[in-house]
């Protein structure tokens, strides 16, 4: 009897994080440490966004974010990281409304992540499979409006 209680307890302990992940989603990994690998970071940070953040570019970026870019599926309609697919990835998608994260990232670092993905996470490379490099710069102009 005692043993089976212990086994049940252990099973519950093991399964509860899994349950939480499925039902309420995984937590976001600390967003502030850089995601671009050390040896590529300086070059990424030095990249300038070649597309001016005009109202036209921001509107185009929004359309791409919600459409063929598929960003909305994970990052959510308002960028909080709460899209319909967010529960399926661990760690959770970035909350793009976080002003500290926005300040910590250069446009070029966001571009690097969209092009290469964030290694070991659900953030996979989306250029050239889903969007072009030019599309990504428009999306970044839109992402900057979410904070
Ligand atoms: C399948 C889900 C998924 C989709 C689709 C997705 N992302 Fe992500 N994204 C993630 C996850 C998960 C992370 C967190 C990765 C981490 O913590 O390193 C993330 C992180 C990011 C980051 C932050 C990286 C950093 O430096 O902190 C940016 C920028 C980003 N995504 C942009 C986009 C854009 C733009 C799109 C659409 C073109 C997109 N993502 C589509 C899941 C997704």
Contact 60, 140 (CB under 8 A): no
Total domains, the chain: 1
Q: Does the pLDDT at position 127 exceed 90?
A: yes
Q: Is the pLDDT of residue 53 over 70?
A: yes
| pLDDT tops 70 at residue 11 | no
What's the pLDDT band for 32 if we cut at 50, 70, 90?
A: very high
Instruction: Identify the band that residue 7 occupies on the pLDDT scale cut at 50, 70 and 90.
Output: confident
Ligand 1 neighbourhood includes 86 CB (under 6 angstroms) = no
pLDDT in tens, 17-27: 555 555 567 89
Which atom of ligand 1 is nearest to 140's Cα?
35
- Mean pLDDT over 71-99 rounds to 97
70 lines ligand 1 (CB under 6 A): yes
**Ligand 1 mean position to 104 CA, how many Å?**
15
Domain that holds residue 26: 2-143
Greater confidence (6 vs 117) lies with 117
What distances in angstroms separate CA 64 from CA 1, 73, 77, 119, 137, one per listed residue? 59, 12, 12, 23, 11
**Nearest protein Cα to ligand 1, atom 20:** 94
With a cut of 80, say whether residue 76 has pLDDT above it. Answer: yes
**Cβ(146)–Cβ(96) below 8 Å:** yes
Whole-number Å distance, alpha carbon 18 to ligand 1 midpoint, is 22
Q: What pLDDT, on the 0 to 100 scale, is given for residue 4?
A: 74
């Amino acid at each position: 009897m005692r043993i089976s209680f212990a086994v049940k307890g252990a099973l519950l302990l093991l399964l509860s994080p899994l349950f939480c992940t499925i039902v309420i989603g995984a937590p976001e990994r600390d967003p502030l440490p850089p995601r671009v690998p050390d040896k590529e970071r300086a070059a990424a940070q030095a990249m300038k966004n070649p597309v001016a953040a005009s109202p036209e570019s921001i509107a185009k970026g929004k359309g791409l974010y919600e459409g063929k870019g598929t960003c909305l599926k994970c990052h959510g309609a308002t960028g909080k990281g709460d899209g319909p697919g967010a529960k399926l990835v661990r760690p959770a998608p970035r909350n793009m409304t976080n002003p500290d994260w926005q300040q910590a990232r250069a446009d070029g670092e966001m571009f690097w992540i969209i092009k290469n993905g964030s290694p070991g996470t659900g953030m996979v490379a989306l250029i050239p499979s889903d969007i072009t490099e030019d599309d990504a710069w428009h999306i970044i102009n839109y992402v900057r409006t979410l904070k």
